[in-house]
Amino acid sequence: MTTLDAAPAKPALINQPESASASGPLRRWVIISTVLSMALADGWMASFGRVDGTGAQGAWIWRTLVWGLVGGGTCVYFWAMLWPAKAVQGPTRTRVLKGFLVVAAPSVYWLSFPLYFISGRDCRDVLTGLTAAGLILGLGAWMMMRLIKAFEHSDQVETERLAREQLARTKGQESPGAATTAHPAEKKP
């Protein structure tokens, strides 16, 4: 079986730890600390409420607990997608993207939190600027993804070409007379 006849490759894996024993305590420490941090940050942000005329005021309310659970749960899901406990295959690009999107959803909500205290014309001006920045950054991200895909495609084409050349060279070495034999139509009478 040649490299060209082989089954299609599985999706590319992202940096997978070599040994389970080396990553066990580190994995637990990283997961526990980030889950607690996200739960604390999301719960803390949820404890603030808008008060007329004075801005924001912090107080314990039940949404603090709910957002703490949301923050902790999304972080657990993120690490389950990115760094599986017993990886048979390891994290694929799809799993990594799903993990990042789940963590990013509540984070984007809380990044927009300061906008809740802006009203009227100021709010429209701020949202216009943020929309323009978002569109520009989105266009830049789209262009970078296209560029990366183009590089991956050109690498794949180049790898296939090199594999065909290597196969042709190995076939030529197996039968030395085959390379010097002329085609019957090229023989002169």
pLDDT (tens digit, 9 = 90+) per residue, 120-132?
778 788 888 888 9
184 is a domain residue: no
Is residue 140's pLDDT more than 80?
yes
Could you tell me the residue range of the domain that residue 122 belongs to? 118-174
Looking at the fold, whether 75 and 36 belong to one and the same domain comes out as: yes
Task: State what percent of residues in the chain have pLDDT above 90.
Answer: 4
Top pLDDT among 133 and 49 is at: 133
43 is a domain residue: yes
Top pLDDT among 60 and 145 is at: 145
Looking at the fold, whether 37 and 130 belong to one and the same domain comes out as: no
Contact 152, 84 (CB under 8 A): no
Counted domains in the chain: 2
What integer is the mean pLDDT of 67-77?
Answer: 88
90 is a domain residue: yes
Looking at the fold, whether 127 and 104 belong to one and the same domain comes out as: no
Task: Compute the mean pLDDT over every residue in the chain, rounded to the nearest whole number.
Answer: 76
Among 83, 116, 149, residue at a domain's last position: 116
For helices 20-46 and 62-82, the axis angle rounded to 10 degrees is 150
pLDDT of 111 reads: 75
Looking at the fold, whether 131 and 97 belong to one and the same domain comes out as: no
Looking at the fold, whether 138 and 94 belong to one and the same domain comes out as: no
Q: How sure is the predictor about 19, in pLDDT bands with cuts at 50, 70 and 90?
A: very low
Q: How sure is the predictor about 21, in pLDDT bands with cuts at 50, 70 and 90?
A: very low
Q: pTM for this structure? A: 0.50
Looking at the fold, whether 29 and 94 belong to one and the same domain comes out as: yes
pLDDT in tens, 151-161: 888 888 888 88
Looking at the fold, whether 91 and 132 belong to one and the same domain comes out as: no
Report the C-alpha dihedral over residues 90, 11, 159, 154, rounded to 10 degrees: -120
181 is a domain residue: no
170 is a domain residue: yes
pLDDT of 13 reads: 47
**Sequence-distant contacts of 14-19: CB under 8 A, at least 24 apart:** 14/82, 14/90, 14/91, 14/92, 14/93, 14/96, 16/87, 16/90, 16/91
Looking at the fold, whether 34 and 52 belong to one and the same domain comes out as: yes
